[in-house]
Structure 1
Amino acid sequence: MPLGSVLAFWGVAALLIAVPGADWAFAISAGLRRQVLPAAGGIVLGYLAMTLVVAAGLGVLVASTPIALLALTVAGGLYLIWLGFKTVRHPSTPGSARGEVGSRGGTLLEGMAVSGLNPKGLLVFVAMLPQFTDPAARWPIPVQLAVLGLTFVGTCAMVYPCVGVGAQALLRARPAVSLVVSRVSGVSMILVGALLVVERLVA
């Protein structure tokens, strides 16, 4: 597989990851709870699962099956809405009680759901990854898809810990601002989830 194709995909992937969305909102909220690693780890594991689905050829099947895509979209959207409401009702602040060790496993699972149940991510993978593969290359297409997907996952593993740590460092001494930022993150997740559901039901 040409290195140039991997680098070209990495450039596109970095731009997509840099655009704030549900992943960013979740990472920021988790950063304020001092749960950066569980949150980032969950997001990465979710995208890793998505990579395996696409490399195995199941991504195209899901994306081309209206009922399956509808179910995934509604489930992902409703989960984001629920998570957003939970964040708004119990906003995170640096060192808050929600940041205790006992909830780290829950944060990991939440991160996996935020990225793994994101139908937008699946569609991006299905539509974008094949454009950077080379049928004439020595590597089989599934292997090329896996390499590209892992490139995306690796970039996420570098970006989202920085997002969480940055939120924690910048807002540690500003509890009032951190409260507002946490609630904005929650509202963002609600809006993204509602948009996913409405967009699929209206289409």
Structure 2
Amino acid sequence: MEATLVLQFAVTAALLTLVPGADWAYVISTGTRSRSVVPPVLGLASGYVVLVAAVAVGVGALVSSHPDVLTVVTLVGACYITYLGVSTLRNLRGADGTLLLTDEGSPADGNDGLRLYLRGMGVSGINPKAMLMLLVLLPQYLTPDGWSSTAQTGLLGSIFILEVVVIYFGVALFARSLLLGRPRLNTAVTGVSGVLLTGFGIWLLLDVLAF
């Protein structure tokens, strides 16, 4: 592979990762209300590992070329992201209906690290928009000579996943340092994250139901 193409891909992928979306909303909402930012960030990264592997072996292209399969994947992903958004909003209120203004870092619904990890994996791993983005982006930087397309995809995908880990850890830690100790701001930002997750999920539903 050409070093220039690898560098260009790294820059492009980093810029796309820096664009706020469902991933950002999830990592901020969980990073500020859980004891560790590691499980949600690694969950998101693991979801992208699945997508990169699917693209590398041709599963992603197979899914995108079959409208019915892609529709099912989109519906599942949309419902899941909407569920997470609604759950985030519901967890802002305690059993008595009062807002949970706490910076203790313990999740309101008792989620453990494994559950946060699996939820993060679901946010990125069954997001059809992320799959289509990788399907469009990765092939542009593959070269016909030298390494096989699978090896090239694996290398570029690994760079993207590393960037995801670094950037999302940065986002989570920055949000944590900014919001912990400021319970009202913490609750407000978590609420906005819940709205964004819900809105993104509903947008996906409307997008697929429009066809």
Query: Normalising by the residue count of structure 1, what TM-score does the alignment of the two structures yield?
Result: 0.95
Task: Give the aligned partner of residue 44 of structure 2.
Answer: 43
Deviations 1:120-157 (A, max 9, x none): 01001111100100012x10011111111111101001
Contact 2:91 2:109 in 1 (8 A): no
Instruction: State the Cα distance separating 1:101 from its structure 2 match.
Output: 8.4
Aligned equivalents of 2:131, 2:148: Cα separation in 1: 21
Aligned equivalents of 1:100, 1:164: Cα separation in 2: 19
Matching residue's letter, 1:119: P
Partner secondary structure for residue 39 of structure 2: helix
Mean Cα displacement is larger for which, 170-179 or 26-35? Answer: 26-35
Task: Give the aligned partner of residue 117 of structure 1.
Answer: 126
Aligned equivalents of 1:53, 1:96: Cα separation in 2: 35
Deviations 1:161-181 (A, max 9, x none): 111111110011210011010
Contact 1:32 1:95 in 2 (8 A): no
1:159-198 equivalence runs, <5 A = 159-198=167-206
Aligned equivalents of 1:100, 1:188: Cα separation in 2: 20
**Structure with higher helix content:** 1
Contact 1:35 1:99 in 2 (8 A): no
Task: Give the aligned partner of residue 135 of structure 2.
Answer: 126
Contact 2:43 2:117 in 1 (8 A): yes
Instruction: State the Cα distance separating 1:100 from its structure 2 match.
Output: 9.4
Q: Which runs of 5+ in 2 are unaligned?
A: 93-99
Alignment CA distance shift 1:3-1:94 (3 Å): farther
Matching residue's letter, 1:7: L
Instruction: State the Cα distance separating 1:97 from its structure 2 match.
Output: 3.3
Matching residue's letter, 1:68: V
**% identity of equivalent residues:** 38
Instruction: State the Cα distance separating 1:67 from its structure 2 match.
Output: 0.8
Contact 2:91 2:108 in 1 (8 A): no
Deviations 1:63-106 (A, max 9, x none): 11101100111100100100000000113753243179861110
Task: Give the aligned partner of residue 154 of structure 1.
Answer: 162
Aligned equivalents of 1:99, 1:7: Cα separation in 2: 42
Contact 1:78 1:193 in 2 (8 A): yes
Matching residue's letter, 1:167: A
Matching residue's letter, 1:64: S
Partner secondary structure for residue 49 of structure 2: helix
Aligned equivalents of 2:147, 2:54: Cα separation in 1: 18
Aligned equivalents of 2:77, 2:85: Cα separation in 1: 12
Contact 1:35 1:107 in 2 (8 A): no
1:51-130 equivalence runs, <5 A = 51-91=52-92, 93-98=102-107, 103-130=112-139
Q: Which runs of 5+ in 1 are unaligned?
A: none
Task: Give the aligned partner of residue 8 of structure 2.
Answer: 8
Mean Cα displacement is larger for which, 31-40 or 18-27? Answer: 31-40
Aligned equivalents of 2:150, 2:206: Cα separation in 1: 33
Query: Normalising by the residue count of structure 2, what TM-score does the alignment of the two structures yield?
Result: 0.92
Matching residue's letter, 1:25: A
Contact 1:55 1:142 in 2 (8 A): yes
